[in-house]
Amino acid sequence: MYSNAYVFRYASIMVIIAAALLSSAAMFLKPMQETNMAIEKMGGILISAKIEGVETEQTIRMFNEYVTESMVVDQNGEIVESQTEGNMEDGTAFTINLKEQLYNKSKGDPYQMPIYVINKEGEKLYIFPLMGSGLWGNLYGNMALKEDFSTIFGVTFSHDKETPGLGAEITEKFFTSQFVSKQIFDDNGAFTSIKVVKGGAATLPEADQIHGVDAISGGTITSVGVDEMLRNVIEAYLPYIEKQRK
């Protein structure tokens, strides 16, 4: 029989070895994980502009081919940094922590936001990254606006862990396609955002339906999260957008 001291020492050594192996594996895998996250981020930006053929092995090349400019704008809508050459994924815009900047906005502190410009077949599109909260975790997205800075060209959404078959369906085309050609400003130039409407956009007054989409059936809280994310994040970009509209 082994003594209690022997068992304790053996268990302690095994725990230390296992921890060392796990730590080494995490360090080894971290660069690959960061690369995969960056590629996913680039893909979302491209897909919001309806760029076709976005595949993992081609994403970085396509990102640098289609993105003609990346910008960082402040809370006053001023451009504080612009990049038009080199690898766009190495620029400040791509590395901004959106969660931190939106937190600064919520506290009334200075903040900076990233914007990407894509030239697609001669049409200039402005891509605005999005971030918010869903039922179980963070929501993410990208919104592409046309040059009038009101008409939505396309959107993408993703999430950490929304409910499959319910809130997780914000990633599906039947939901995202509703946003195409919707307007974030009304005819008088007032900001409206896009309302995600429980019961359907058809329940809105006819004049407001251009500013609304149908919520996900059974995914009410996630739909509310998308609605709040759009309004909150577009508000962060609003000073810049309004300067361009003028």
Per residue in 195-226, pLDDT tens? 999 999 999 999 999 999 999 999 999 999 99
Query: What is the residue-averaged pLDDT of the chain?
Result: 89
The total of other beta-carbon atoms located within 10 Å of residue 48's CB is: 28
pLDDT at 57: 72
pLDDT bucket at 55, cuts 50 / 70 / 90: confident
Q: How far apart are the first and last CA of the chain?
A: 85
Give the pLDDT mean for 105-114. 97
Residues in the chain: 246
pLDDT of residue 6: 57
pLDDT bin (cut points 50, 70, 90) of residue 88 is: confident
pLDDT of 79 over the 60 cut? yes
In this structure, what is the dihedral angle of CA atoms 88, 92, 98, 101, given to the nearest 10 degrees? -160
7: pLDDT strictly greater than 60: no
- Residue 4 has what pLDDT? 59
Q: What's the confidence (pLDDT) of residue 23?
A: 60
- What is residue 214's predicted lDDT score, i.e. its pLDDT? 97
CB-based contact 68:172 (threshold 8 Å): no
The rounded distance, in Å, linking the Cα atoms of 62 and 54 is: 7
- 232 torsion bin: left (phi>0), alpha (psi -120 to 50), beta (else): alpha
HSE value, Cβ hemisphere, 13 Å, CA-based, for 116:
33
User: With bands split at pLDDT 50, 70 and 90, how would you rate the model's confidence at 245?
Assistant: very high
Count other C-beta atoms under 10 Å from residue 218's C-beta.
12
pLDDT of residue 18: 60
